[in-house]
Structures are given as C-alpha cells and as structure tokens.
Amino acid sequence: MKIHVTDQAGDQHELEGLDGWRVMEVIRDWGLNIKAECGGAAACATCHVYVDAQWFDQLPAPSDDEEDLLFSTIDKQPNSRLSCQILLSDALDGLKVTLAPSSAIG
C-alpha cells in the first residue's frame, strides 16, 4: 500500500508501506526528515504530521495521551496527529500527510 508524504521542504514522496505498520515507521524507514525519538511509544510528539482533509475523518479518534502530546507542540493544527498512532491498513491505502515543522531532525 502507498502513503503520500509532503516533507518540510514541500517535496512530495510516495512511500510503500505494509499492513499493520505505523505511518511513522514507514516515513522513518524511507529516510525522510522525522525525529520519531520515542520510536512509537506516544511519548514525545516528534512524529507530528498534518493529515490531509480527505483522510482525517477516516482515522480512529486520538487517545487522550495523543491529544495531550499534540497540545504540547508549537505547531498544532486541527488536522494534527502523531504518525506513530496511525496504523496502516487497506482502508488507508493512499493516505496523505504532511510532516510538521516540529518533527524535523535538527
């Protein structure tokens, strides 16, 4: 399955992912500019993304922990999510996200 990622520079990438993988893992493993410091434990918010409007309502609601972490980011938007909390499935084939500035390495 594919996900479409716009990086912090505005470049678009089509990435191949696997069912059950976290979106953060796919982005990280393809070498894009994402910190993902906690490795998917929902403990840091360094995998912050903006989910495209057509996809946002198709995701499960964020947990209270995810909401708390997103609230702590400096660049939260209404369509913000932690990419470590989005699990790929056939229903999300074609998902579009944009890496938040706060998720950049360095």
- pLDDT tens digits for 25-46? 999 999 999 999 998 888 999 9
Q: Answer for the pair 33, 104: CB distance below 8 angstroms, yes or no.
A: yes
* Tens-place pLDDT, residues 36-76: 999 888 899 999 999 999 999 999 999 999 999 999 999 99
Q: What six digits make up the tokens of 22?
A: 């976290």
CATH at 65:
3.10.20.30
Give the pLDDT band of residue 106 (cuts 50, 70, 90).
confident
**Pair 100, 73: CB distance under 8 Å:** yes
Domain residues for the domain of 7 are 2-103
Cα(92)–Cα(10) distance, rounded to whole angstroms?
A: 22
Q: Which of 89, 93, 91, 100 is nearest to 6 (CA)?
A: 100
Tokens of residue 66, six digits: 């995810």
78-95: pLDDT as tens digits: 999 999 999 999 999 999
At residue 96, φ and ψ (nearest 5 deg) are -120, 125
The model's pTM:
0.95
The total number of structural domains that make up the chain: 1
